[in-house]
């Protein structure tokens, strides 16, 4: 079963084409990493899946249900607002920046969305939040405010917050790019555990070691298009596209 499928997605900002006929399928339980240079359209593609960006044309399917069928920016899918929101809530997203509420504790940050978006009672939300905070290794930080946490700890809270909505798919938009190098490992460790547990994950990343170790499939994007897709072994050791070879050569120094 495909959890995410896109067909000929295009996105323009005025005359600037940032996505050009992007086709990608992510199967249930699959970890797909998108790599490529800055400006390739990676983040825009990810953000288009959960409607943070509206595509200009193309189709988006979530769990084999059509979410978008757009032409000239107009969606032809007759979904109600409730149906659309139900599909979008099946995806959780972690951003480059943590965007935690500074006036709320770690526990409150993780509880807030289930209570206000899913109308979950506070007792149930607290049970789920405490379990998730423990899973990301921050059990001793329940009542701490974000300003007292390191960047890596804040990003782990952000992951717990996204998981609190009990999504079936997790989208990660360069989740370690804003971190100091010594803090990257603790976030990647949490993501590896999620992958091992079978979470469907689509990850935009510049961490080649993570992509090589964890991904089932690696996608190389350049100038708004997918130029190459393959297993980590194939893409990293024997890329077919010259642009892929150049990019990986600069990243891996090989």
Q: Over the stretch 193-211, which tens digit does the pLDDT of each residue have? A: 999 999 999 999 999 999 9
Please choose, from the candidates 208, 188, 238, 233, the residue with its C-alpha nearest in 3D space to the C-alpha of residue 34: 208
Contact 223, 246 (CB under 8 A): no
**Distance of alpha carbon 22 from alpha carbon 58, whole angstroms:** 9
Structural tokens at position 198: 């079978």
Please choose, from the candidates 17, 159, 3, the residue with its C-alpha nearest in 3D space to the C-alpha of residue 93: 159
Q: What is the pLDDT of residue 252?
A: 72
Tabulate helix, strand, coil % of the chain (nearest 5): 40, 30, 35
pLDDT over threshold 80, residue 93: yes
**Distance of alpha carbon 148 from alpha carbon 141, whole angstroms:** 9
Instruction: Residue 54: count other Cβ atoms within 10 Å of its Cβ.
Output: 13
Please choose, from the candidates 48, 46, 47, the residue with its C-alpha nearest in 3D space to the C-alpha of residue 73: 48
182 Cβ contact list (under 8 Å, min separation 6)? none
Contact 194, 201 (CB under 8 A): yes
pLDDT over threshold 90, residue 253: no
Q: What is the pLDDT of residue 254?
A: 44
The pTM of the full predicted model, rounded to 2 decimals, is 0.94
């Amino acid at each position: 079963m495909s959890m995410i499928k896109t067909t000929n997605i295009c996105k323009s900002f005025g005359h600037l084409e940032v996505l050009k006929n992007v086709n990608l399928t992510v199967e249930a339980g699959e970890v797909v990493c998108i790599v490529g240079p800055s400006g390739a359209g990676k983040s825009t593609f990810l953000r288009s899946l959960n409607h943070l960006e509206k595509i200009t044309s193309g189709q988006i399917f979530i769990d084999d249900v059509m979410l978008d069928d757009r032409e000239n920016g107009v969606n032809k899918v007759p979904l109600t607002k409730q149906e659309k929101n139900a599909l979008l809530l099946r995806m959780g997203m972690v951003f480059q920046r943590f965007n935690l509420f500074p006036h709320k504790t770690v526990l409150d940050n993780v509880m807030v969305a289930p209570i206000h978006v899913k109308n979950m009672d506070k007792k149930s939300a607290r049970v789920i939040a405490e379990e998730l905070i423990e899973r990301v290794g921050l059990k001793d930080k329940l009542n701490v405010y974000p300003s007292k946490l390191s960047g890596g700890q804040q990003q782990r809270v952000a992951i717990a917050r996204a998981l609190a909505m009990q999504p079936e798919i997790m989208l990660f938009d360069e989740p370690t790019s804003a971190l100091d190098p010594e803090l990257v490992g603790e976030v990647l460790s949490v993501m590896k555990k999620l992958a091992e547990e079978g979470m469907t994950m689509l990850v935009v990343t510049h961490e080649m070691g993570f992509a090589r170790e964890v991904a089932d499939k690696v996608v190389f994007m350049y100038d708004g298009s997918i130029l190459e897709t393959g297993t980590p072994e194939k893409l990293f050791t024997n890329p077919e596209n010259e642009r892929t070879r150049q990019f990986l050569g600069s990243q891996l120094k090989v």
